[in-house]
Structure 1
Amino acid sequence: MSESSAEVGGVPVTALKRHAELSELVEDARWRYYVLDQPTVSDAQFDAWFRELLALEEAHPALQTPDSPTQKVGAPVSGDFAKVQHLNRMESLDNAFNAEDMAAWMARAERLAEGDPGPYLCELKIDGLAIALVYRDGRLERGATRGDGRTGDDVTANVRTIKGIPHRLKGDDVPSLVEVRGEVYIPVEDFARLNEQLIEQGKPPFANPRNSAAGTLRQKDPRVTAQRPLRMLVHGIGVWEGAAEPKAQSEVYERLREFGLPVSDLTKVVAGLDEVNAFIEHYRVHRHDPPYEIDGVVVKVDDFRTQRELGSTSRAPRWAIAYKYPPEEVNTKLLDIQVGVGRTGRVTPFGVMEPVEVAGSTVERATLHNAAIVVKKGVLIGDTVVLRKAGDVIPEIVGPVTALRDGSEREFVMPTHCPECGTELAYEKEGDADLRCPNARGCPAQIRERVFFAAGRRALDIDGLGYVAATALTQPLPPQQPVVRTEADLFDLTLEQLIPIKSVVRDQETGLPKIDPKTGEAKVVTFFSNVNGEASQNALRLMEELERAKQVPLAQVLVALSIRHVGPPTARALADAMRSIDAIMNASVEELSSVEGIGPRVAATIKEWFEVDWHREIIERWRAAGVRMEDEPAPEKGPQTLEGMTFVVTGTLEGYTRDTAADAITSRGGKVSGSVSKKTSFLVAGENAGSKYDKAVSLGVQILDGAGFEVLLNEGPEAATEAAVTPEP
């Protein structure tokens, strides 16, 4: 009989073995996470193991014994603190990972309650450390970690040092005995500062805020805890005696807030599944708006009587569930550290990793910034590393999982010469963190990156010149010669030059050739010709776009030239003040410095750029090809109705781009900023306004929609105040 068909007690041997293997993995992970504060697997991996355990036990109920990890809460308590019994068992939460899971949980709750158990309270799931506080006669008596749910570590001395936790509750109606549960965390900004301090002291940094909070709360010396920026938010009660008990979760939060306990403002009571899903989706988009890290949303039946009717399983309440967002931190293997060359010559190390799913996308490359950062993070080639990708932010290697090293890892050595042109690397000036390739004119990588950048939306806005096209023009397959050797060649291109080009496809993040997994060789494309050897639509579109690009405003031409420190705002200021490329090129440092927003250092950099012969050649070749090198004379200033006021523009406004909306404001004397602050006069918010809208609401900044913006421009700020949007509570 084969092993796959053999059974023990009605359970296949393969299932028994896999259950035992998973149980060991889960128990070890819990011990390292909860007790040692040294996790060696990511939350995503732990969740995957745990879901597989649950599936095995659902298929084979005999596997679900009291010793199974699925029937336990947390982990064994550590041996460093006194042990205390919780007044009421602290439970874990079951998880939902998608809309189907959420709907299934709500359907079960409706069946058990024999009707709609709503309303529901939605709150953010803070990625912190669970804690229970006991107040007797209003005084803080004890603070304890969750431990295994029944017994926790007594960390009272450390809890007393946490800012925001009252030692005595306020009010006359305080219960004689109350146990409150919550989450201890370190705010994101404070976490970054804490890690900087640890690195300066030569100590290893924490991998994430949750680990730093756990490690800090378990310090044996409360004086160390007191120096760390711990905070707490309360999210429930375990015991309530000696006072009228509230009837709902939301009512408890109001009472606890009155007592002086820290309670989140980011909660909402909703009616049903659609509103629950809307709350989940809102914070999926605005995940990084709160000052602390979250990994999901907790949904609870609000009414206490209904909670009691629904009851609990052996480890989790049936009246609450945690909806978990895709993980933003995972563990993966660092296979190599290589370097890429950017348009300014900056040489940047990046990690090459085993592909891994994080924040909804597959990642196999992550920046390491410079050689000093590689050392600072302490990563070695061959390490298992923590990889973080927050939303659309570039993936980042946080640090190594040192507990998994086996001695085969090796240090990264920064190259001394450019990997693409062989030029010796150097620092531009003393004290720089970044090595650069000084061969700006001839380095293929820098030319490729500058051509791609010049075609960008805020520069020449050439739709047909993406990364594949930029590579083909500057680095065709040998023995072909580049048809674009510098940006100067760009507007002299012909269809005859484009058609024969073959090129290796390169990765946009690293500049390295992409490998075809079937052949093991670099991918090659004929981007500008079709199967008949005629001009492709790509080639025809590029020629049309190049012709159109000759008429872009001067500010966009300045951006396209890749002058250091001259991004769109500086380019617009230069163009508005001087109106022509010749005026800018011939201006002194003092004259350039007189332009608003341009200091002496940037002015000197601009002046130096225009003094280089081959830079001037680009300008003259573009001019000869018909590129517009000056703007129309500045129009006479109209009424400066917005003078002295600051605006932020966000979202999509009908009839305006972000730039034309900004121009409409600045032409009336107003200033446009990229971030909302208390000094912001108005936020102009179109569709999909995002986090800036929420920031404006929190600061009480006046908000204008599209109609209100028209009122502002046509009738002035006083009329706009009356037209301002009233945010929903």
Structure 2
Amino acid sequence: MDNLVKELNQHTYNYYVLAMPTIADYEFDQKLKALEALEKAHPEFADPDSPTKKVGGDITKNFQTVKHKWPMLSLGNTYNEQDLIDFDERIRKAIGDNFEYVCELKFDGLSISLTYENNVLVRAVTRGDGTQGDDVTANVKTISNIPHHLKQHSAPEVFEIRGEIFMHRKAFDRLNREKEELGEVTYANPRNFASGTVKMQDSREVAKRPLDCFLYALNTDKLHFRTHWESLQAMKSWGFHVSEESKLVAGINDVFEFIKHWENERFKIGYDIDGIVIKVNSYAQQQELGFTAKSPRWAISYKYKAQEVETILEKVTYQVGRTGAVTPVANLKPVQLAGTTVKRATLHNANEIERLDLHEGDSVFVEKGGEIIPKIIQVNLEKRKADASRVIYPTHCPECGTALIRKGVEVAFYCPNDEGCPPQIVGKIQHFIGRKAMDIDGLGDETIESFYRKGLVRHISDLYTLKDKAEDLKTLERFGEKSIANMLLGIEASKQMPFEKVLFGLGIRYVGETVAKKLAFALKTMDNLRNATIEELVTIDEIGLRIAESIVEYFAQEAHNVQIALLKDAGLQFEVTETVIQLASDKLTGKTFVISGVFEGVSREELTATIESNGGKILSSISGKLNYLLAGDNMGPSKLEKAKKLSIPLISQEDLLNMLK
């Protein structure tokens, strides 16, 4: 489970931040489902920071970060019809049989949120991590079919509209040919090209690239339409580019017809789609169905299966990551697949090599979903040469020569030489400067690699001595005085980052962002953590034996303790700073609520904030532990029935306000 969490988080970063995915969509989704199943079977081992509970993604430092007023959640997805039937049954159980679906094409591009005030575009923000994203307004304004001003006045005074920025395949092919002629690196697919373009610093360059955008969702403080379909028609009338291929349907059988139609038709349109999105049409019913932590319960996406081709395995190489995990990579004879040239495929671990029974020079079938780097799915044994040698996973680290180890039932082999293996050293420092750790402005992954090659940094603590190496820094290419000054300011500012960020930044195995917070607030200081026994650690909420053993092993190494002492001398925060949260009142302390239905003049989020700021707690479902069901219009019949069965009081918005008087 820990390995899946780390692998999925890395793939999410590669896809959303680097725009350089290294795994097919189908493979990612299967791994996510495997993790979900394990967490359901073994909740005691579930990571609170698991990708099953989060929307993938992260924030670049090139643009101002903006918090989304309405979170940009991802959709649950499937590759088979039975999951859609199950989805339909869950909907019927919750809201009855009287509802419609809207079917839409699932565009393969970059999600964007556009905010309009008084008919003027004021802000464009990328999805980012789902809660906050990058302000790319200047770049988005260069896209010809995104209006800067609406020519009519029937739109709400303030609203947010969401869509997908993409590039047509013909434009992509033309621009890639131009890059080839100039000897530049080409993009792998239109999605990456569009994503890279939107995040360019110079909007004049963005304007030279032909981007397009389909809009498909509307958010407002107060409901202006009864249904999603009505809002789509209104968006068209306001001048937005809305796909004409969307369809309002009566039931799940019509959904299947829509999916079947586009399975072949998708190759005849000029842009990429990777599936179909299905949404419940009524906004009142959407509100009743609600959300999970990661996705809406009223929508799902159906993804088409990946394409596959046959090619030759030329050799297997090995990459060493930050944690020492050694990952095999298949180097393939270049082959065309889904419109792109494929040269590499992931092999994940030693077990995968063994499962495939790979031999040198094998003819292999590779699969590709979402126009990205594929996976080998099987070997064509009929074409294997009689004298072909089996691919043998290495016994020693390909970077530093240290004997590899494998703990217990883990699938990955690791290089234990974390203080002497170059890619581990560089990876640890890159992790330390990252946004979720020390968030050091003026430093990036390439800069760290350059510093390491020049001998300027060998350990995390060396970052805090760079101020004494200003002359050496000036000799580096593309590193002027202003860049050096910004970097040193960023390093100095990082000394104020809280203890839990420092702890996460150290990169202790299994200590993710959430675990670091749990440890910091339970033990208060680095000294307490360093002296804690395994028995003491496992008594902390959500700290299991594996995490506890890893922490004790980390502090048992003298090299790690030397680094911590140097970081402490540099002035980093090694203890928790306590803060007190002031409530508006304690009138609802000890009381629990579930909110259901639609309310006049107020959103569910505002009601939630009111309850919590007065000491109350919001529950996700109705049970015997519930004190009150706050009921609005169009509340779902199943919730009402369950509340009555358990004799749970129903209260109105007015009743809630009276409780606070």
What's the TM-score, normalizing by structure 1? 0.45
- In our comparison, the structure showing a higher alpha carbon Rg is 1
Asked which structure has the greater RCO (Cα within 8 Å, sep 6+), the reply is: 2
What's the TM-score, normalizing by structure 2? 0.49
